[in-house]
Amino acid sequence: MTVNETGAKTRAPIAGLAPQGRTASPVATETVIELKGVGVHYGRTHAVRDVSLPVARNQITAMIGPSGCGKSTVLRSINRMNDLIPGAKVTGEITFHGKDIYGSGVDPIAVRRHIGMVFQKANPFPKSIFDNVAYGLRINGMKDNLADRVEQALRGAALWDEVKDNLKKSALALSGGQQQRLCIARAIAVQPEVLLMDEPCSALDPIATARIEELMNELVKDYTIVIVTHNMQQAARVSDATAFYSADVDEAGERFGFLVEFDETQRLFSNPADPRTEDYITGRFG
Ligand SMILES: Nc1ncnc2c1ncn2[C@@H]1O[C@H](COP(=O)(O)OP(=O)(O)OP(=O)(O)O)[C@@H](O)[C@H]1O
């Protein structure tokens, strides 16, 4: 991977993105997840409207945009985390390998096992390092070779060398960056296919942030990643595709978020199709 003058990384282009594919919903050939006309209500508020985009396998898809435009809301809809928020309702369709994750009979817990999540603030359980990583394995009945699985997850999260002699120590004694990598280990322990990351570095210093970004570049070889970030430079550095969201007010005076543009990261940052994207990435927004 290299970084061009816009700061955007240049890895293999997203399969299937046509050169003229400048619409909000270009088609990726190796689509793992697809959002089609997705909207999210919180009670009577239609907070996010009509989002359509594909998420390509073994790519990092970033979601950027101003505060309150619905990035986290959309992210949470991808593994049914919004189900846990009273009054939240998702409309439209979200497919995982072509299957509607909101279809009747689909178990949201099974969805979350395949599509894991890492949150903004590291949230280890008040348990040992080992038990944090083993937690999901135990509740998912993946108890065979538990120690090996925990070790593999900690290695995968680039934390093993730092904690291997202290696995019984409380996870809460780790630094913030280590705690976030522990949460990544906990998420990957159950071998999901997709990792959703909601501003995973926003509480971290630049060194810990760089380690997580490095780690993402490793993880994407095995996982498909969707990241929400406030940090445009981070989106440019780590992602392959970027979705830019914004917010507007409808005729009834209600504020709502929507997708402005989705494209390969390099192109979105160097030659955005929509003037609203350009205003945002050049700092002229608002
Ligand atoms: N649990 C909730 N209950 C009610 N409204 C919510 C809830 N979570 C988010 N919202 C509303 O949905 C809209 C989108 O919020 P969301 O947090 O998804 O945006 P965001 O782009 O991720 O913002 P930020 O960058 O500040 O995290 C906002 O108007 C917000 O107030």
Q: Which residue has the higher pLDDT, 180 or 1?
A: 180
Average pLDDT estimate for 51-58: 97
Q: Which atom of ligand 1 is nearest to the CA of 65?
A: 21
Single-letter code of the amino acid located at 111: V
Q: What is the pLDDT of residue 8?
A: 57
CA of 3 to the centre of ligand 1 (A): 32
Percent of the chain with pLDDT over 90: 83
Residue 230 lies in a domain: yes
Q: What is the pLDDT of residue 15?
A: 41
Q: Which atom of ligand 1 is nearest to the CA of 76?
A: 18
Q: What is the pLDDT of residue 1?
A: 46
Question: Which tens digits make up the pLDDT trace of 189-223?
Answer: 999 999 999 999 988 889 989 999 999 999 999 99
| Among candidate residues 34, 88, 11, 24, the one with its CA nearest the CA of residue 243 | 24
Residue 134 lies in a domain: no
- Give the number of other CB atoms < 10 A from CB of residue 106: 13
Q: Is 67 in the pocket of ligand 1 (CB under 6 A)?
A: yes
Q: Which atom of ligand 1 is nearest to the CA of 43?
A: 4
Average pLDDT estimate for 7-26: 42
**pLDDT of 19 higher than 90:** no
Long-range contacts of 2-8 (CB under 8 A, 24+ apart): 3/237, 4/266, 4/270, 6/236, 6/266, 6/269, 6/270, 7/233, 7/236, 7/237, 7/269, 8/236, 8/237, 8/265, 8/266, 8/269, 8/270
CA atoms of 150 and 132, how far apart (whole Å) = 9
Residue 175 lies in a domain: no
Residue 158 lies in a domain: no
Average pLDDT, the chain: 90
Residue 228 lies in a domain: yes
CA of 220 to the centre of ligand 1 (A): 27
Q: Is 156 in the pocket of ligand 1 (CB under 6 A)?
A: no
CATH number at residue 212: 3.40.50.300
Which residue has the least CA distance to atom 24 on ligand 1?
67
For the chain, what is the domain count? 1
Average pLDDT estimate for 48-74: 96
Q: What is the ipTM of this complex?
A: 0.97
Average pLDDT estimate for 255-272: 97
Q: What is the pLDDT of residue 209?
A: 92
- 85 near 78, Cβ under 8 Å? no
Question: What residue numbers bound the domain in which 233 lies?
Answer: 2-11+28-120+194-281
CA of 154 to the centre of ligand 1 (A): 32
CA of 34 to the centre of ligand 1 (A): 21
Residue 274 lies in a domain: yes
CA atoms of 162 and 182, how far apart (whole Å) = 11
Residue 91 lies in a domain: yes
Which residue has the least CA distance to atom 29 on ligand 1?
68
CA atoms of 135 and 130, how far apart (whole Å) = 8
Question: Which tens digits make up the pLDDT trace of 126-179?
Answer: 999 999 999 999 998 998 999 999 999 999 999 999 999 999 999 999 999 999
Residue 109 lies in a domain: yes
Cα 162 to Cα 56, 166, 169, 180: the distances in Å are 32, 8, 12, 13
pTM score, whole prediction: 0.89
